[in-house]
Amino acid sequence: MAKTLHTLVVLVENKAGVLARVAGLFARRGFNIESLAVAPTPDERFSRITFVVDVASAPLDQVVKQLDKLINVVEIRQLPPAESVERELMVATVNASAAQRGEIMDLVRIFEARVLNVGPDHLMVSLSGSPGRVDDFEDLLRPYGIVELQRTGRIALPRLSRTTTPA
Amino acid sequence: MKLNGGQALMKSLELEGVDVLFGLPGGATLPLYDPLIDSSIRHILVRHEQGAGHMAEGYAHVTGRAGVALVTSGPGATNIVTPLCDAYMDSIPLVVITGQVPYAAIGTDAFQEADTTGITMSVTKHNFLVTEAQDIPQVIHDAFHIATTGRPGPVLVDIPKDIVDPNNPRSGLDWHEPDGHDLPGYNPATEVDPELIRRAADLIVAAERPVIYSGGGILKARAAEALRDLAELTEIHVVTTLMNRGGFPDDHPLCLGMPGMHGNYTAVTALQESDLLITLGARFDDRVTGKVDAFAPHAKIIHVDIDAAEIDKVRRADVGMRGDCRAVIEALVAELRGRSGLHTVDRSSWNQTISGWQERYPLTYEQSAPGEALKPQFVLEQLRDGTPDDTIVVSGVGQHQMWTSQWWKFNHPYTWVNSGGLGTMGFAVPAAIGAKVGRPDRMVWAVDGDGCWQMTSQELVTAAAERIPVKIAILNNAYLGMVRQWQEMFYDERYSEVYLSPDLPDYVGWSRAMGCEAFRVEDVDEVESVIAKANEIDDRPVVVEFRVESAEKVFPMVPSGRSNSDIVVDPSQQG
Ligand SMILES: Cc1ncc(C[n+]2csc(CCOP(=O)(O)OP(=O)(O)O)c2C)c(N)n1
């Protein structure tokens, strides 16, 4: 079944247990969180949580209303993927024998990724970009053997009107 | 002024106007119980913390004010989870204060440590873990604000021992009276939208078969009078859900009584056949709708609720309004008063249909022959007729609950106390005690099942010790009756684990041992006189055990998961 992804950006009070309250609500309504990113905002009283969830619109509407009932939730924004810019960061350690290193470096250049660390048999690389682009890079690295990989989960902001996004 | 945290807590509660606490102490609450000796607040020492929670609920049901319970950490806190969940489901304002192990010990699996805020997160409107003594006054002020405003509900405040312990330097604070709230994510205020009022009025004026579907939100919003104005102005019939019994008088000619799984035929069918449901403070609970897809298939929906999440949750509304029921109804009444065409649609045939159903399918039961066990419905009629009109009636959960809602006549708001959403067996005895504490001027009768009574009857010790003269009617049918009814109807009479025996325990002996007066009634001729005798006793609790027919069933009934159109009436009315 095709996924119906929704991005919710939730401003919460910076209080103990808030993430558990918010995440618990999703669990209670029986749907999975695809991705989750949390960080403090410039105003230290608040944090911002970006959720990506896979649900049909009707239950989403109910979840948004239930989230809104949480005392520590200050604001909820729904960002349709088509109307927002999403970014994610990936860091990976990849097998890289001397013979393979050149090929991997080609990928790094094509994707405008970065090399963070070099070892005798490994490379550590990072890429930030749209989630789809990060997926593509990950797919292309996989044949070399990914030793370890972490992704941050997405963050998003609404697209500015009448602009384009440079790669 | 320098205070310690325990003193600050008591002072904060006094400032909120708390007159009674239901609770039981323990190691973590020693510093909270100590200043209680010097406080004006009455404390009622329960025998089980579940009792404290339900008492606080009973108190809140009848007074509209927050009920308050104070219990210790660990098992004290876990024992009160059921009442929290109960209050959450029925939107009852509660403030529960739990002791916690010292702050530094949290997370170490210390003696009597439980993750109380974690455990109660999903059954409270909000909860707090207080970490500094200095925060106590503000947190208590916020807790009462959250519990009692918007959609009311339970709020829990967990307080580590060290910040209230006078012997610990962490408990010292400079007393300051809280000044307002800093809750940027909490906005219970609502405004009435005149455009939505106009659209609702348009639907009301044009409807041919309208019904007012009124729920517990009417009572929460103190909107009983407004509801009556609306019904009388529009001449539209009213159903009162289980949570709103008494919110519209049963003796009013426009009252249809309770809808739902065990509602009466007319209330259920009027909803089902209507072309407009004016839904006020009700939430389309599955016990009311039956199979949702088949519920009131021709009806347009007006839905008013203080909680925006209720609108469009189960049934999409044609006009959905987040709002305080009273404010919205008053605005609607004002709008409708200004309209000329209020009674131009001819509803006489709808009204005739309704009275036809009422005549054909009244609530009914077969009287028992002399010498046979009492009929529970008969007992309820006698109780109803033998007690003052404004008696507060509390029930447990099961057949007796449904019979009580069906057969009592509720003509006053805040006279019916029960566990509707969670369906908590063991609710009645403690809730009745709390109700009597809240309204000592009223007669309070609980109607309980023999199964339910055995869950929390020990609280009658509390009632006897505190001289709280509640009256408990046990309908002893020797079974977990409601479950037995389902086994009889849907499981081929295979009665698995529902028999309780009529004689074990000896209810009269047990009640007397707890300090109550107690009677057993087996004979039809004694029912009236024993009720009169029980009504006389005003210095201690009274328990009356009525031996009732085991096989009696609650009718009408909409079988679970079926459409309300499949309602099963009393056997005497079938065919
Ligand atoms: C705490 C709890 N456990 C189990 C149930 C399931 N239940 C609902 S009604 C009922 C039977 C109640 O029996 P009794 O109190 O004798 O009342 P009756 O139905 O016979 O009037 C049971 C077991 C419940 N509602 N609450």
Cβ(B339)–Cβ(B201) under 8 Å? Answer: yes
Nearest residue of B to residue A21 by CA position? B121
Residue A148: beta bridge partners? A93
In total, chain A counts a number of residues equal to 167
Check if the interface score ipTM surpasses 0.85. Answer: yes
pLDDT at A56: 78
Scan for tokens 């950490």, then name that residue. Answer: B73
Pocket test for ligand 1, best of B50, B287, B395, B397 (most atoms within 8 A of CB): B397
Long-range contacts, A45-48 (Cβ 8 Å, 24+): A45/A13, A45/A14, A45/B184, A46/A11, A46/A12, A46/A13, A46/A14, A46/A74, A47/A11, A47/A12, A47/A13, A47/A14, A47/A18, A48/A9, A48/A10, A48/A11, A48/A12
B90 closest CA partner among B151, B149, B155: B151
Over the stretch B538-552, which tens digit does the pLDDT of each residue have? 999 999 999 999 999
**Residue A167: what pLDDT?**
54
Q: Which residues pair with A91 in a beta bridge?
A: A126, A150
How many CB atoms lie under 10 A from the CB of residue B563? 17
Q: Quote the tokens at residue B92.
A: 């009852």
Give pLDDT tens digits for B56-74: 999 999 999 999 999 999 9
Confidence tier at B148 by pLDDT (50, 70, 90): very high
Q: What is the pLDDT of residue B217?
A: 98
Return the H-helix or E-strand segment holding B181: none
Complete DSSP assignment for B393-456: EEE-SSHHHHHHHHHS---STT-EE---SS--TT-HHHHHHHHHHH-TTS-EEEEEEHHHHHHH
Enumerate chain A positions whose Cβ falls within 8 A of a Cβ in B.
12-13, 16-17, 20-21, 24, 28, 45, 61-62, 65-66, 68-75
pLDDT at A165: 63
pLDDT of residue A162: 67
**Is the pLDDT score of B315 beyond 60?**
yes
B129–A71 C-beta distance less than 8 A: no
CA distance B466 to B178: 34
Nearest CA in chain B to A46: B184
Evaluate whether A139 touches A145 at the Cβ level (below 8 Å): no
What's phi and psi for A45, nearest 5 deg?
-75, -15
| Per-state percent for chain B, helix, strand, coil, to nearest 5 | 40, 20, 40
Nearest Cα to Cα of residue B153 among B83, B247, B241, B227: B83
Any idea which residue has 């800093």 for tokens? B182
Buried b (16+ CB within 10 A) or exposed e, A138-156: eeebeebeeeeeebbbbbb
pTM of the shown model = 0.96
Mean pLDDT along residues B204-231: 98
Using pLDDT thresholds of 50, 70 and 90, give the confidence band for residue B228: very high
Residue A3 has pLDDT above 80, yes or no: no
In Å, how far is A60's CA from the nearest CA of chain B? 11
Going by CA atoms, what residue is nearest to atom 4 of ligand 1? B425
Query: What's the pLDDT score for residue B133?
Result: 97
Q: What is the mean pLDDT of chain B?
A: 97
Determine the residue of chain A that is closest to B313 in CA distance.
A62
Determine whether the interchain pair B309/A73 forms a contact, defined as Cβ–Cβ distance below 8 Å: no
Q: B-chain residues within 8 Å CB-CB of A21?
A: 121
Least confident of A80-84, B83-87, B403-407, B424-428: A80-84
pLDDT band per the 50, 70, 90 thresholds, residue A33: confident
Q: Which residues of B touch A66 (CB under 8 A)?
A: 309
CA distance B114 to B546: 42
* pLDDT exceeds cutoff 70 at A144: yes
- Which positions of B are catalytic? 49, 111-112, 161, 482
Note the pLDDT tens digit of each residue in B103-117.
999 999 999 999 999
Amino acid B426: pLDDT = 98
Percentages (nearest 5) of helix, strand, coil residues in chain A? 35, 40, 25
pLDDT single digits (tens) B153-212: 999 999 999 999 999 999 999 999 999 999 999 999 899 999 999 999 999 999 999 999
Which of B452, B479, B546, B550 to mutate for ligand 1's pocket (most ligand atoms within 8 Å of CB)?
B452
Q: Inspect the interface and report whether the beta carbons of A65 and B184 lie closer than 8 Å.
A: no
* Span from the CA of B450 to the centroid of ligand 1 (angstroms): 9
Looking at the CA of residue B423, tell me the nearest atom of ligand 1: 25
Count of CB atoms situated within 10 Å of the CB of B537: 13
For residues B487-501, give the mean pLDDT: 97
Closest listed residue to residue B288, CA positions, set B203, B405, B446? B405
Judge contact between A128 and A26, C-beta under 8 A.
Answer: no
Q: Which residues contact B539 (CB under 8 A, 6 or more apart)?
A: B467, B469
Binning pLDDT at 50, 70 and 90, where does residue A111 land? very high
Q: Please report which residue ranges of chain A form alpha helices under DSSP H.
A: 18-28, 57-69, 98-111, 131-141
**What's the confidence (pLDDT) of residue A1?**
58
Q: For B480-487, what is the mean pLDDT?
A: 98
Residues B521/B544, Cβ–Cβ less than 8 Å? yes
Residue B373 is predicted with a pLDDT of: 95
**Residue A164: pLDDT over 80:** no
Model pLDDT, residue B202: 97
Alpha carbon of B89: minimum distance to chain A alpha carbons (Å)? 14
- Residue B334: the pLDDT is 98
Pocket of ligand 1 (CB under 6 A): B 396-400, 423-425, 449-452, 475, 477, 479-483
